[in-house]
Amino acid sequence: MLFVPAPAPAQQPAPAAPSALRIVVIAGEDAINIIQQKTAVNPIVEVRDRNNLPVAGVAVTFNVGGQGAAFAGGASTLTVTTNAAGQAVVTGLTPTATGAVTINATAVVNGQTIAATITQTNFATAAEAAQAAAGASSASGSSGGASGGGSSGATGGAGGTGGGLSGTTLGIVGGGIAAAGGLIASQAGGGDDSSTTTTTTGGTTTTTGGTTTTPTTPATPSIGGTYNGTFSGTYTSTGSGSTTGIPTISCTSTYSITGTIRVVLNNTTDGSASGTGDGTATFRETATTCTNVPGLDLSSGGEPFVLPFTGPVSGSSSSLRFIQDTTQNQNISGVNISTRMSAGFSGSVSGTSMSGTVTITHSNTFSFSLEGITTSGSGTGTGTMPATLTR
């Protein structure tokens, strides 16, 4: 009898392994970038395994869709290897055009492709972020919906901090507070909807019993002539705003100031001082920080702006001053701003020189609506700088 062995059963292919890795967005989702500042919020992603543990040594490629941003050297792609914490940290991202920005992060590991998408929004200036508040409801709402279904659990948490507002909306609110409460909005020079400005100049007088008197001093050599000088220093501006359902947002900006000043005095020998004064202050933003605003980047590097001021001189040779005081009410695309700005000089004459202090201050109130809620707040700022003038 012949025995024939039965054929071995055919080996079945193993089922495909489920996706083992994923990319999680840690930072950069729903970020607000200000083109004037020349910096963007750099994305950070983390590669995790099926046990939610970080994976080091994975090459992640970031690709910017469209023309809204670029990496160092104008590149549209950047590859970063995850560090020991499993994170790939982007550097050198710069906003180049206003509007939405999409950044795709992809990696290929053992033939498996994993990906995540990061969305950001660019504004030309912080002031434009504030101006966009009135009409941004639909745009920020759709972006908030996208972030809610995105790959980052942290992003959803940021939106939750705002009582249902998206991260983009929080960024716009923060940008509005930084602009409306800060010096930049104070110098906007009028809104596109309505603006009223009242400017007063002059020194102070002393009133006693309804009679105005001018301080006098003993006769002295004439102090008449033109005095010129320069000044420099720091200006600090703060603004805070309250919005129903989210924590109070506070923003602080610092500026370096350089300027020139001129005082033209009439020829007098009785110790009194009269004439005209004028100056120009150039502000350069050095830093802006905001609290309780996820993803808001208002770093240093904005374009400088110039504040001219002038007024009649009053007082005496030992105590003279001039000042310009301006009150401005603006409505910029739904952002209501009422600002008082003061700039001037006070000092004394000694021989052919004049020494004193340039003082610049502002205070304002503002309000704007976004996604059916209203943000209101106020801002203040001050800068005091020594100045020496010679004739």
90-138 residue pLDDT tens: 998 989 999 889 999 999 988 889 999 999 888 887 656 655 543 443 3
Domain end, chosen from 134, 158, 185, is at 134
Structural contact between residues 235 and 283, judged by C-beta atoms closer than 8 angstroms: yes
The mean pLDDT value of the chain amounts to: 75
Structure confidence at residue 378 as a pLDDT band (50, 70, 90) = confident
The region of weakest confidence among 3-12, 14-23, 58-67, 301-310 is 3-12
Structure confidence at residue 315 as a pLDDT band (50, 70, 90) = very high
| Residue 317 domain flag | yes
Tell me, what CATH number does 123's domain have?
2.60.40.10
| Residue 187 domain flag | no
Q: Is pLDDT at 360 greater than 50 in this prediction?
A: yes
How far is residue 154's CA from residue 158's CA, in Å, rounded to a whole number?
6
Q: Is pLDDT at 245 greater than 60 in this prediction?
A: yes
Structure confidence at residue 153 as a pLDDT band (50, 70, 90) = very low
Domain end, chosen from 81, 113, 134, is at 134
384 and 236 in one domain? yes
331 and 230 in one domain? yes
Q: How many CB atoms lie within 10 A of CB 277?
A: 27
The 10s digit of each residue's pLDDT in 248-275 is 888 888 889 999 999 999 988 788 999 9
| Residue 216 domain flag | no
Beta pairing partners, 321: 314, 346
| Residue 211 domain flag | no
Give the residue with greater pLDDT, 8 vs 84. 84
Structure confidence at residue 151 as a pLDDT band (50, 70, 90) = very low
> Could you tell me which of 322, 321, 215 has the C-alpha nearest to residue 271?
215
Average pLDDT of span 330-337? 69
Residue 143: strand, helix, or coil: helix
Beta pairing partners, 322: 345
| Residue 176 domain flag | no
* Range(s) of the domain holding residue 379: 225-390
**First vs last C-alpha separation in the chain:** 131
The domain tally of the chain equals 2
**Helix 153-161 with 167-180: angle, nearest 10 deg:** 50
Domain end, chosen from 79, 113, 134, is at 134
| Residue 9 domain flag | no
| Residue 81 domain flag | yes
Q: Is pLDDT at 223 greater than 80 in this prediction?
A: yes
Structure confidence at residue 31 as a pLDDT band (50, 70, 90) = confident
Average pLDDT of span 41-60? 91
